[in-house]
């Protein structure tokens, strides 16, 4: 019982029934604080997820653009060559060299 009397004698303390409203107010304040912080964390997590998904999309688009650029640079290096011109003439224009015979098969 000695400890109980000491606790009641502490000035400004919330012990006993001297400040029941103050205890309720402090408890409500901390509950509201926890709710606000929790809400902020949930919104921050949702925003982070959206940003991470968009970053993944952009990385994929970058990879596709790099591959397309490499393909274009490769095509650029052979466009003026005689082999490329011959290939285009045969494939797209249907031309043949003198003395060649074209065989077409159905199917």
pLDDT at 98: 85
Q: pTM for the full model?
A: 0.49
Residue 27 reports pLDDT greater than 90: yes
Q: How confident is the model at residue 1 (pLDDT cuts 50, 70, 90)?
A: very low
pLDDT at 86: 85
In this prediction, residues 57-83 reach a mean pLDDT of 92
Name the least confident of 7-16, 26-35, 55-64, 74-83.
Answer: 7-16
User: Which residue stretches of 1-107 are H helix?
Assistant: 2-8, 20-78, 82-91
| Contact by Cβ (8 Å): 7, 13 | yes
Tokens in use for 26? 């402090």
């Amino acid at each position: 019982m000695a400890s109980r009397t000491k606790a009641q004698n502490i000035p400004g303390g919330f012990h006993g029934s001297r400040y029941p409203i103050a205890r309720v107010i402090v408890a409500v304040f901390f509950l509201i604080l926890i709710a606000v912080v929790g809400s902020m964390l949930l919104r921050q997590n949702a925003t982070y997820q959206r940003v991470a998904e968009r970053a993944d999309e952009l990385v994929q688009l970058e990879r596709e653009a790099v591959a397309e650029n490499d393909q274009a640079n490769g095509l650029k290096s052979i466009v003026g060559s005689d082999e490329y011109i011959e290939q285009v003439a045969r494939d797209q224009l249907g031309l043949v060299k003198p003395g060649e015979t074209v065989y077409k098969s159905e199917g």
